[in-house]
């Protein structure tokens, strides 16, 4: 019998389709392997092919030029622009404003052929530091209410360049799905006086059926109402609403957890394309007891069909308990 | 300057990226052309390869066998099952229930090589009648709260068989996006005492910038805050919350409008894959003044990237005014 499951945060129902249950090898997949064949603006030596950097980490202590290990540059084709006023206006019943915001690219390493799974832990930690440093800087601009930190890996996940990179989009509005998560978490808190994510952590660490791995600082789980096969959430054990308040020990630990999850995914799903998104509270809002930042990773294995767009209703052919078992059993090497 | 636009129903903000503005020919596209090469369970003569039909239209007046022009059959691999109780239960903080519901396939024509754009108007009208007849039948089962009517056209839009078909999924819950639309429309009504869709119709018919075509019964528009390039909505002029209350004259008119829109899309976008979804009020609810059924068509032209999943925030590279102009100027033949 297929099962309907409800996400405890947003209230979204998902069909877990046991009749269609599939093993990892049953998915149509496109393995993502860097080819390095084309000219790449993100490779070392081509720094002049990107706009001037807004942040860089260097190993030689220089502030410009020299050898960098990570760079953050404005997107050459930005979806939003930093200059100008919001200039909110109506047009009949419609509302519009200028696309003020920031759109930046984190070049995670000079090594074109690397992936987050194959990089050193130190390098993954630098990406996390860069995310934090950019949020701390961007939030000083009071027009910007939300900072999206995300990575598209592989062409079918939306990456247009193969050099390892992630993206930062700072927005003058709070995106709708984010607001729903915040509202759902607040409602749960009002009812229970506990954080829903803390409750999920406790239950998953106790049940262990959907637990992939745990460390002193984090736990990785296949969520109870997973929308997608092998959807994976990484949750910090310490309650904290804002990602940018991450502590040094957590950064290092998260680098290990993130790399481990991606290595396991590479093994189980043969180097899939994936999307990774940091979910965090709006940057201009104070710390809250009800929201809890976390990371969601979604490997691109299935096609999203029409009704999923139109209704927000998902059919997931892989029970999360099965996904977690495959992920647990996969080695890290 | 890119522009942020707000959908007046759901409150969702979208970036209309003028810097990235693209003409129809700039999109990566996979033209959908039926090949007819494989064995097809939906073709005439293979009726025994599907579960027994729940509805069929026949030209010869027979009730079984003979020549059919349209059949509705249960999905052979259903996402939900009709038998059984909902059996709602908790599991710690989680909620689940049995996947009770219906999952049916509308075989729109015996002709494997046809498409909705190439079929006769009469045949398209039969699809609309079949949608209506099935909703009227399914809503008698009081466990079922929402009926999704949709079509995936082309493999990249999620169609696994190329024979012209659409799908019906009846659910014991109201999907989240649907509930959001209903809530948004209700809020607008509480504030204005007018239906937001009726207001959209009035404004678009007056401005004409985003209007693609209009008839006595319907109007087709590129919505102001389109999430996707060439997203198209077909709205009935007559206020009505439930699709299944469609009148005979409207069915015939809608068949012409739908076929015309798909013919225009085929011309402008070179036979794109698309998703089509009927948006309607929950079947067990009474008619309302605030909700207005309509059809949304989304050609599959762009890849949806990571942050769109995570945030519900979309970047649309084609201003809807441009899309509407291309669609208006395309002929129907």
DSSP-derived 3-state class of residue A29: coil
The H or E element spanning position B176 is helix B176-192
Q: Quickly count helices (H) and strands (E) in chain B.
A: 6, 15
Written as tens digits, the pLDDT of chain B (333 aa) is: 889 999 999 999 999 987 655 667 776 567 898 888 789 999 999 999 999 999 999 977 666 666 899 999 999 888 888 888 888 999 999 999 999 999 999 999 999 999 999 999 999 999 999 999 999 999 999 999 999 999 999 988 888 899 999 999 999 999 988 999 999 999 999 999 999 999 999 999 999 999 999 999 999 999 999 999 999 999 999 999 999 999 999 999 999 999 999 999 999 999 999 999 999 999 999 999 999 999 999 998 866 666 676 677 888 989 999 999 999 999 875
Q: What percent of chain A has pLDDT over 90?
A: 77
Mean local confidence (pLDDT), A3-16: 94
Q: Poorest-confidence range of A183-187, A256-260, B309-313?
A: B309-313
Domain covering B3-75+98-329, topology? HIT family, subunit A (3.30.428)
d(CA A47, CA A73): 10
Chain B residues in contact with A77 by the CB 8 A cut-off are: 19-20
Residue numbers of A between 136 and 195 with CB closer than 8 Å to B: 148, 150-152, 155-158, 167, 169, 171-173, 175-178, 180
Q: Which residues contact B96 (CB under 8 A, 6 or more apart)?
A: A3, A4, A5, A6, B88, B89, B90
Instruction: Supply the pLDDT for residue A305.
Output: 60
Give the model's pLDDT for residue B311: 74
Chain B CB contacts of A272 under 8 Å are: none
- Nearest CB to B81: which of A1, A298, A313? A1
pLDDT of residue A331: 82
Determine the residue of chain A that is closest to B5 in CA distance.
A96
Instruction: Note the ipTM here.
Output: 0.90
The C-alpha atoms of residue B126 and residue A247 are separated, in whole angstroms, by 62
Secondary structure element (H or E) that encloses residue B72, with its range: strand B68-74
Residue A83 has a pLDDT of 86
- Residue A273 or B29, more confident: A273
Ordered by start, the domain boundaries in chain B are 3-75+98-329
Residue A320 has pLDDT above 90, yes or no: yes
Identify the CATH number of the domain defined by range A3-17+44-329.
3.30.428.10
Residue A30 touches chain B, beta carbons under 8 Å? no
Residue pair B27/B301 in contact by the 8 Å Cβ criterion: yes
CA distances from residue A290 to A197, A307, B302 in whole angstroms, order as listed = 8, 31, 36
| CA distance, residue B283 to nearest chain A CA (Å) | 15
**At A162, is the pLDDT very low, low, confident or very high (cuts 50, 70, 90)?**
very high
Please say if B294 is a catalytic residue.
no
The rounded distance, in Å, linking the Cα atoms of B144 and B169 is 10
pTM above 0.95, yes or no: no
């Amino acid at each position: 019998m297929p099962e309907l499951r409800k996400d405890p945060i947003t209230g979204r129902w998902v069909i877990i389709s046991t009749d269609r249950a599939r093993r990892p090898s049953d998915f149509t997949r496109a393995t993502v392997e860097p080819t390095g064949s084309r000219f790449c603006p993100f490779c070392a030596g081509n720094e002049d092919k990107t706009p001037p950097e807004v942040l860089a980490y260097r190993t030689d202590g220089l502030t410009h030029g020299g050898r960098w290990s990570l760079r953050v540059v404005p997107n050459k084709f930005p979806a939003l622009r930093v200059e100008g006023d919001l200039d909110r206006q109506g047009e009949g019943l419609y509302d519009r404003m200028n696309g003020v915001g920031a759109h930046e690219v984190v070049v995670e390493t000079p090594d074109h052929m690397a992936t987050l799974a194959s990089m050193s832990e130190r390098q993954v930690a630098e990406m996390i530091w860069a995310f934090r440093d950019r949020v701390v800087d961007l939030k000083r601009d009071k027009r910007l209410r939300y900072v999206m930190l995300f990575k598209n890996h592989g062409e079918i996940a939306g990456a247009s360049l193969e050099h390892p990179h992630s993206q930062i989009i700072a927005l003058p509005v709070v995106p709708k799905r984010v607001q729903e998560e915040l509202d759902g978490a607040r409602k749960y808190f009002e009812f229970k006086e506990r954080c829903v994510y803390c409750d999920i952590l406790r239950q998953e660490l106790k049940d262990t059926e959907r637990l992939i791995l745990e460390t002193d600082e984090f736990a990785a789980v296949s969520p109870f109402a997973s929308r997608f096969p092998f959807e994976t959430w990484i949750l910090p054990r310490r309650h904290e609403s804002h990602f940018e308040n991450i502590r040094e020990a957590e950064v290092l630990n998260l680098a290990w957890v993130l790399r481990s999850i991606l290595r396991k995914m590479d093994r189980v799903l043969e180097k899939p394309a994936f999307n990774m998104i940091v979910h965090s509270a709006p940057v201009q809002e104070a710390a809250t007891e009800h929201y809890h930042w976390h990371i969601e990773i979604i490997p691109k294995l299935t096609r999203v069909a029409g009704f999923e767009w139109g209704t927000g209703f998902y059919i997931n052919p892989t029970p999360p308990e099965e996904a977690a078992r495959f992920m647990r059993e996969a080695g890290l090497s």
